[in-house]
Structure 1
Amino acid sequence: MLLIQEEFLSRAEAVRARLDGATLEALSHHGDPEVSELASNFRDPRMEPSQLIQALCPGPLSPVGFAAVVMRELLAPEDAVLEGTVSEARVITGNARASGPLRVEAPLVVLGDLEVAGVLEDCGPDSTVVVLGRCTAWGLQTSGNFLVLGDLVVRDAIQGIHNDESLIVAGDLTTRFLDENDHDVACYGKAHTEHHLENGRSGETAASLASTFLLPELWDIDLGELHHDVLFERIQKGEPVFTATLQPRRVREPDAPTAEELQGLDIAGIVARAPEDAHAKDVVYAQRKTGEVWLTRPGIRAMQIFDGNRFLGQEPQPALDVKQRASERVTFWRKRGDLFLEVERFGAVVQLHAGYNNGSMRTFRLAFETSDAAARELRRLESRYAEDFVRVTTGVPGRGPLERELANYSGPKAQYTSAIVEGTTLVTREGERQQFDDEASALGALEEWLASKRQAGFDLKILEWKPYGLLGKR
């Protein structure tokens, strides 16, 4: 079926004269529909419908939507079945149906209804989608221009992605969960939603609001994130994503110590005793039951730790035999914020690394008379931080792989290296990948790798988690 220029533009004039109501409002969202715009893209006297649509895209919705309305009056309806991915510009003159998920990577115009028995995903800006009839799907992830002149009915969730394109509906919009994020969403009919996160919501607000109706695996209060990819994977698999009943709203606790945590602590007195210049506003962690206080200014000076009686690190640091492997290691991550504490025992020496994810860090060493005494100290520290910190091995829960970065500043040029454990594989920045039978063996290999790097003059520089770590962000 070809479009004849003279006939098409003549019909466009007639269609334009009778456009009104919600249809005209939706078509005008990106500007008034103009016949001249269609004429300027009619490059040959006869064109395939898909060629005209391709010529109008990418671009505003008004001309491509207008062209689709004109096509509906000229082209005989013919239904189509869509499968998997739309990778080339297509015009379906009748109804279109997909029996599974549908990914749209090129312009798609449906002059009738579009039914997707799965998740519908577009890929803006290359994937302009226009549906003149009713559009239904289980889920919709849209980053491109998406126009529906009938009703849009999405069973579970709609996610807007990026702020360059628009989702425009002339009819009614119905879905259980609409997350506009920073996407332009406009409905000229009635919007029926149970849960609606409006354009401009912050990540922290989104996670907090979602905690009332989405399953806990789909949001992270500490990171201020919704796990949209997991959400739509579950929708596609038919797995539950919503809680059976509304839950109490969760809010992110502040990174800084609360007034309750500071109650009874002589912060002014502790700050005055600090071996380095410090202020009360520099308190990043406080434990009322032990009197412990951590002081730091991220990116400016290293951590100062008052353990309730004294500041650590004021006595001479005991020597460490870098040839030996750590006898045991315990890594903690603060349940809120990005503070970490890693404790290593080397025989009768306990070494503590305290700092921020991707930030400043300080190392302290404590010597004991026997290895047993050092082991008891490590157990005491485990108990001391169990309430406020989470113990981690290969990853920080909800955040990503735990990456250790080491530095060697002894040469003319600083050297860096790092390693992570992915499941049962040890991965290093040098490109090494060692596969083991279980995670414990991989962690044992990590200890050997750390010992070899210490012997080469490297020391721990920082602990990081995805997305900051060079390995973890892959």
Structure 2
Amino acid sequence: MSLSQNEFLPRAEATLAQLEGAVLDALSHHGKPSVSSLADAFREDARLSPSQLAQELCPGPLSPIGFAALVMRDLLTPEDAVLEGTVSEARVVTGNARASGSLRVTCPLIVLGDLEVAGVLEDCGPDSTVVVLGRCTAWGLQTSGNFLVLGDLVVRDVIQGVYNDDSLVVAGDLTTRFLDENDHDVTCYGEVHAEHHLENGRSGEEASSLASTFLRPEFWNIDLGELHHDTLFERIQKGEPVFTDAPQPRQVREPDRPTAEELEGLDIEGIATQASKNARAKDIVYAQRKTGEVWLMRPGSLPLHIFDGKQFLGQEMPPALDVKQRASERVTFWRKRGDLFLEIERFGAVVQFHAGYNNGSMRTFRFAFATSDAAAQEVRRLEARYEGDFLRVTTGVPGRGPLERELAKYGGPKTEYTSAIVDGTTLVTRDDERQRFDDEASALSALEDWIAGKRQSGFDLKILEWKPFGLLGRR
């Protein structure tokens, strides 16, 4: 089955003269269709197969390939096809096409009739271009490439646009339960029937907040401002429910900075003045009204200052610390608001206190006590002070990812870095070590030995971080 240039171009002239309405509008979305754009595809060859013509016109704007598909429909004998798994070679189906499960398209796919997918339909722009001249139906649609439907597009559950390079264009009506344009160009020349619609340009924070009213909680994260689309489409493919049974109250992300209520009664201006001549009241990142504690920090320019309600920490010379010893205990807290962390280590009668924000800057404070028991009591006091505002963590930060400790060694010809996480019952380090243990407690004990060993080698804690910033957390 091949296409003759001498037959194809005259038929294209006749087809172009008949184009009108929404079909012409959709074909013109990337520019007016023209016969010359099709003539260029034939080059010196007098004949092309349908798939060869598709390859010549793709990737590229939708107008030429959409126009060519209409001409092919007039010239080719309809023949239905069953599609399975992945379409990885350019293909033209002259009749209707059907997939009994999910369908992934990684190259041009042209369907001159209807396309029915009993699962999730996913394209892979920019390599893929999908053109359906008839009706297109699926359970879910993830589109990152150019996708043209000249009939109706009906997607049972969710349509997600990915990236802003290409377009989803529909000449007929678009019907789905949840349409998330994200940053993708989605244009419908018919009517849009979507129960939930997030338009192009929506922010992640707005999307997750709105989605909390109708999607199950595992598909959105208010703190990170994310929708978990991959998990969402996995569930759709499995036929599992993704929507709530009834509308839910809208969740809103708590502000990073302290609220007016939290600051009530605190002399922030006075505290900022005591901290540094460069400190300003707007640099406050944490406040605890019951104790009067205030953290002042300006990322990139102002080091962390902690006012404990009476004085600023770190005003006196810190006591010496024997880095050869293993920590007697470790307590780690994380605050989702502002992504702040604090880690308390005790080394016998010395308490070391690290505070900072995710993948940012950190400051360390150190205090000596008369006895180990007195130092342990101080750790308990600090635990009680921050519980409630902060969440106690061990191996991961809920809703974020694995907790990674990065250490740095600044002596020598160049700075060295290393880090470690505990993944289940395995200690994983950036030095390509993986030590497996019978339980998590044993892995955490091994982490303490690893930290002590690194400190003996001249390393010290640089920062705490979590996925996606931590190098180990995103493996």
The TM-score, its normalising length taken from structure 2, stands at 0.97
Which amino acid counterpart does residue 23 of structure 1 have in structure 2?
V
SS of residue paired to 1:251: coil
Deviates more, 1:307-316 or 1:282-291: 307-316
Give the whole-Å Cα distance in 1 for the aligned partners of 2:118 and 2:158: 14
Which amino acid counterpart does residue 454 of structure 2 have in structure 1?
K
Asked if structure 2 preserves the Cα contact closer than 8 Å seen for 1:301 and 1:360, the reply is no
Q: Pairwise CA RMSD of aligned residues?
A: 1.4
1:187 aligned partner: 188
Asked if structure 1 preserves the Cα contact closer than 8 Å seen for 2:279 and 2:302, the reply is no
User: How high is the sequence identity, in percent, across the aligned residues?
Assistant: 80
| CA-CA distance at 1:348 after TM superposition | 2.0
- For residues 65-214 of structure 1, what are the structure 2 equivalents within 5 Å? 65-214=66-215
SS of residue paired to 2:84: strand
Give structure 2 stretches of 5+ with no counterpart. Answer: none
2:315 aligned partner: 314
| CA-CA distance at 1:97 after TM superposition | 0.9
Asked if structure 1 preserves the Cα contact closer than 8 Å seen for 2:395 and 2:402, the reply is yes
Asked if structure 1 preserves the Cα contact closer than 8 Å seen for 2:87 and 2:106, the reply is yes
Asked if structure 2 preserves the Cα contact closer than 8 Å seen for 1:335 and 1:388, the reply is no
| CA-CA distance at 1:330 after TM superposition | 1.4
| CA-CA distance at 1:88 after TM superposition | 0.5
2:230 aligned partner: 229
2:9 aligned partner: 9
1:23 aligned partner: 23
Which amino acid counterpart does residue 350 of structure 1 have in structure 2?
V
Give the whole-Å Cα distance in 1 for the aligned partners of 2:91 and 2:153: 20
Deviates more, 1:156-165 or 1:215-224: 215-224
2:441 aligned partner: 440
SS of residue paired to 2:52: helix
- Report whether the alignment pairs 1:461 with 2:469: no
| CA-CA distance at 1:216 after TM superposition | 1.6
The TM-score, its normalising length taken from structure 1, stands at 0.97
- For residues 341-352 of structure 1, what are the structure 2 equivalents within 5 Å? 341-352=342-353
Give the whole-Å Cα distance in 2 for the aligned partners of 1:385 and 1:276: 28
Which amino acid counterpart does residue 98 of structure 1 have in structure 2?
A
Asked if structure 2 preserves the Cα contact closer than 8 Å seen for 1:112 and 1:132, the reply is yes
Which 4+ runs in 1 deviate beyond 4 A? none
Give the whole-Å Cα distance in 1 for the aligned partners of 2:461 and 2:315: 20
Asked if structure 2 preserves the Cα contact closer than 8 Å seen for 1:352 and 1:365, the reply is yes
1:38 aligned partner: 38
Give the whole-Å Cα distance in 2 for the aligned partners of 1:77 and 1:372: 85
Deviates more, 1:175-184 or 1:292-301: 292-301
2:371 aligned partner: 370
Asked if structure 1 preserves the Cα contact closer than 8 Å seen for 2:254 and 2:337, the reply is yes
SS of residue paired to 1:430: coil
Alignment length (residue pairs): 474
Give the whole-Å Cα distance in 2 for the aligned partners of 1:458 and 1:301: 24
Which amino acid counterpart does residue 135 of structure 2 have in structure 1?
R
Which amino acid counterpart does residue 109 of structure 2 have in structure 1?
L
- Report whether the alignment pairs 1:238 with 2:239: yes
- For residues 380-459 of structure 1, what are the structure 2 equivalents within 5 Å? 380-459=381-460
| CA-CA distance at 1:358 after TM superposition | 1.4
Give the whole-Å Cα distance in 2 for the aligned partners of 1:313 and 1:212: 46
SS of residue paired to 2:141: strand
